[in-house]
Amino acid sequence: MDSALDDVERAVKETFGRFFASESGSAVVRAAEPLGFDRDLWNKALDLGALRMGLPAELEGDDADMVCLAIVAAELGRTVAPIPLIDSTVAARSLARSGSDEALVALKSMLAGDEVIAYSPRPIVNGVAPLVPSGAIADRIVAIEGDSLVLARVETTSRSAPNNLGSMPLANCAIAGERVRIADGVEAAQGNARTLTEAKALTASAMVGVAERSIDIALEYVKIRTAFGTLIGSFQTVSHRLADSVVDIDGARLLAFKAAWAAEHDSENAAAIASMAFIFATEVARQCSGHSLHFHGGIGYTMEHDIQLYYRRAEAWPLAYTSTEREYQHLADLLYGPSGQEA
């Protein structure tokens, strides 16, 4: 195994690390609430090639592999940037794989920023895709409907964007009639499974970024805050939780990268590893942001402090896909076969 960043991976990390740090500060994140979408930031990210990079060269993409996309997702997570990059990336890759004319036209329109096309992890039933993670800002969605994978136009005139814990553009998406079938039958199911695997792997990576930044915020504070006449970072109840946190983050980062790698190179195990990474990185992000909030005492509970931005999203972003408790059962299905099937 080789967990070292190569030159390309390092360059991607530096470029996007700088971009999100300078363009997606907490003022930007706050200003985009409650919808959780900053169109200006999205356009800048598109200009930088954030969406294009994960597409094949023949479709105007940069042929970046999933590990590079995971690196970008982690940097996005560090600033909880209010853009639908993960949902759009996996939708775009799904369209690119289908190769149909309509899909490729849609792809061009996405890359140009003319419309947002997002992935829905839940199928369209009776004409509605429920609580699509980027549903409140999507013009079209990629989702399963019946036995097909479809590209469907969202009815936007009657759409509402309910306020939610994660300040995300979460919405029920009614479909406005127009659907393009991307794939049918087994091909549709497999295509959707792969997209879900990619979404979980990249969300895991974003959670690693959330966890890292949460602990950075904690470290900055416990090294200057004194109580009972000493720095609170010298209390073992604080320092030991921080020690556990950085080790957990090491594991989550490596597992998220492995999930991204496997999504491309190990089709046999990709779904299980993505599931593991999704569960683990989510748990780590929740714990790290929770610890960090708590170390701040009362100030950590105020909306004025940035840690709440992370604490809410560590819970909400993954949950918009699925609950970790349900994901554990799904992972067991992948590892040990479906429940109730006698050998």
Residue ranges binding other proteins (CB under 8 A): 1-6, 9, 67, 219, 222-223, 231, 233-236, 239-240, 242-244, 246-248, 250-252, 254-255, 257-258, 261-262, 265-266, 273, 276, 279-280, 325, 328-329, 331-332, 335-336, 339-340, 342-343
Q: Are 195 and 91 in contact (CB under 8 A)?
A: yes
**Residue 9 Cβ vs other proteins, minimum distance, rounded to whole Å:** 7
Q: 10 Å Cβ neighbour count for 101? A: 9
Residue number with CB closer to other proteins (165 or 231): 231
CB of 258 to other proteins, least distance (A): 5
Q: Which is nearer to other proteins, 129 or 256 (CB)?
A: 256
**Would you state the torsion angle of the CA atoms of residues 106, 108, 110, 112, taken in this order, to the nearest 10 degrees?**
-150
Q: Closest CB to other proteins among 12 and 83?
A: 12
CB of 257 to other proteins, least distance (A): 6
Nearest approach in angstroms of CB 107 to other proteins is: 27
Q: How far is the CB of 221 from other proteins (least distance, A)?
A: 12
User: Minimum Å distance from CB 153 to other proteins?
Assistant: 38
Sequence-distant (6+) residues with CB within 8 A of 45 are: 19, 51, 81, 83, 85
Instruction: Please answer whether residues 312 and 165 qualify as being in contact, where contact means their C-beta atoms are separated by less than 8 angstroms.
Output: yes
Q: Which is nearer to other proteins, 37 or 221 (CB)?
A: 221
From its phi and psi, is residue 265 left (phi > 0), alpha (psi between -120 and 50) or beta?
Answer: alpha
Report the nearest approach of other proteins to the CB of residue 2 (Å). Answer: 4
- Residue closer to other proteins, measured from CB, 103 or 252: 252
Structure tokens at 137: 């800002």
Q: What burial class does residue 286 get, using C-beta atoms within 10 Å of its C-beta: 0-12 exposed, 13-18 middle, 19+ buried? A: buried
User: How far is the CA of 59 from the CAs of 26, 56, 97, 108, 138, in angstroms?
Assistant: 34, 6, 11, 8, 22
147 three-class SS: coil
Least distance to other proteins, CB of residue 61, Å: 20
Helix/strand/coil for 100? coil
Token code pair at residue 147:
């036995």
The nearer residue to other proteins, 5 or 128, going by C-beta atoms, is: 5
Q: Which is nearer to other proteins, 171 or 222 (CB)?
A: 222
Nearer to other proteins, 304 or 325 (CB): 325
Q: Which amino acid is at 86?
A: I
CB of 268 to other proteins, least distance (A): 11
What phi, psi does 331 have (nearest 5°)? -60, -45
The CA-based angle 160-207-39, given to 5 degrees, is 40
Q: Where are the alpha helices (DSSP H) in 223-269?
A: 236-265
8/105 with CB nearer other proteins: 8
Calculate helix-pair angle for 185-222, 66-78, nearest 10 degrees. Answer: 40
